[in-house]
Amino acid sequence: MAPKYPIHKDFAFIPSINQRFSRVPIAATNALIRLSRIIQRTTHPGVEVIEHSIPGRINPIRLKLFRPASGTQNKKRPCLVYFHGGAFALTYVGPHLISAAVYADRLDAVVVFVEYTLMSKAAFPAGFNDCYDATVWTYENADILGVDKRRLFVGGDSAGGGLAATVAQKALDENHISICGQLLIYPVIDRSCSTESAKKFRDTPIWTGVSNERMWKKYLENYPDNDAPQYAAAADRKNLSGLPPAYVELAEFDPLHDEGLQYAERLNNAGVKVELFDTKGTIHGYDGIAPKNATSIEAMDRRIAFLKTCINAF
C-alpha cells in the first residue's frame, strides 16, 4: 500500500504521535529526552559552553552560553538568543545543542540558549516571560558577554519559534531593546488551530493536529476561550509593521505549515523583510531527525546566510 504522504525516506520511518500533556506522560517523555542527551554526543569542535543562571520571575533562568573558543576574545560578537522547541512542555534534545554550537561557530557569534520554564511547571506566561527576560538580560549585559547589542537576534524552532516571534513583538512594543532579526523555524504561531494544514494533518509523523490542539489547551489553561492575553500567540497581533527582518522555515507535512506561511505573508505585506524557505517532503522537526539530509543541510546554510545578511547590515 502506498504511503499516505509522500514524505522523504529519511523522515518517513518516524511514527505519528498524539502527545498527551498530563503530568505523567510529559514527565516520562522528559526523562527519556534527558537520558538521550547523556548518551548523545552534543559537543562541537572549537566551541565552548558555559552554564549560567539569572534571576527569573518564578525561578532562576538557566542559560547555556555558546561561544567560539579561539579568536579574539575581547571582540564584540553578534548574538543569537535561542528558544528550543518542545510544545512548550518538553525539554531540549541533543540536536538543539548541536545546532546552537553550529550557529556560534559559523557566525563567530555568542549563542544564549534559554532553558525557559516548561508549561508542566507553569502555563503561559511563565515560559514567555523567561524568554523575554533572558533577551533583555543579554542586551543589558552585552559588554560583559562580549556582545554587540546592535546585532542581537532571537530565534527558535517550533514552540521556540513562536516564543521568538512574540519576544520580537514585545521588544518592539517596549522599545527598550533592539532586535535586528528573527529566526522562525517551523514556528508555533496560531492558537486557533484552524488552518487547512492544522485540520488536514491529523496523523503526520511526530507532530499531529491532535497534539497541536491539546498543546494550546494546556498552554492557555488559565485563560477562557477567545480571551488569550497579548503575546500568547504571534498570529493574534493585528499590526506587524516595524518588526525585524524574519527568516521563516516550514515543513511540508506539518500541521503548523500554513500558519507559518500566513505569518510570513502578513509580515511581508506589513513591509517586513522576509526570507521564506518552504521545504518539501519534510515533517516537523525534520532537521533534528536527519541532519545530514540534503534539505537539512540547505536549511542550516540558509539560516546562516540570513543571519549573516542581518549582521552585515551594520
Active-site residues, by number, are 158, 254, 284
Read off the C-alpha cell for 51: 552554564
**CA gyration radius for the chain?**
18
* d(C-alpha 17, C-alpha 267), whole Å: 31
* d(C-alpha 172, C-alpha 118), whole Å: 25
Q: Quick one: which H or E segment has residue 112?
A: strand 110-115
Q: Could you tell me if 135 and 167 are in contact, meaning their C-beta atoms sit under 8 angstroms apart?
A: yes
Angle, helix 159-174 to helix 126-140, in steps of 10 degrees: 60
* d(C-alpha 78, C-alpha 95), whole Å: 22
Q: Read off the amino acid at residue 310.
A: C
Which string of b and e fits 94-106 if b means at least 16 CB within 10 Å?
bbbbbbbbbbbbb
As beta bridge partners, residue 61 has 54
Read off the C-alpha cell for 138: 543579554
Reduced to 3 states (helix: H, G, I; strand: E, B; else coil), residue 10 is: coil
* d(C-alpha 149, C-alpha 178), whole Å: 8
Longest Cα–Cα distance of the chain, Å, equals 60
Reduced to 3 states (helix: H, G, I; strand: E, B; else coil), residue 48 is: strand
Q: Tell the residue number behind the cell numbers 555568542, with chain if given.
A: 110
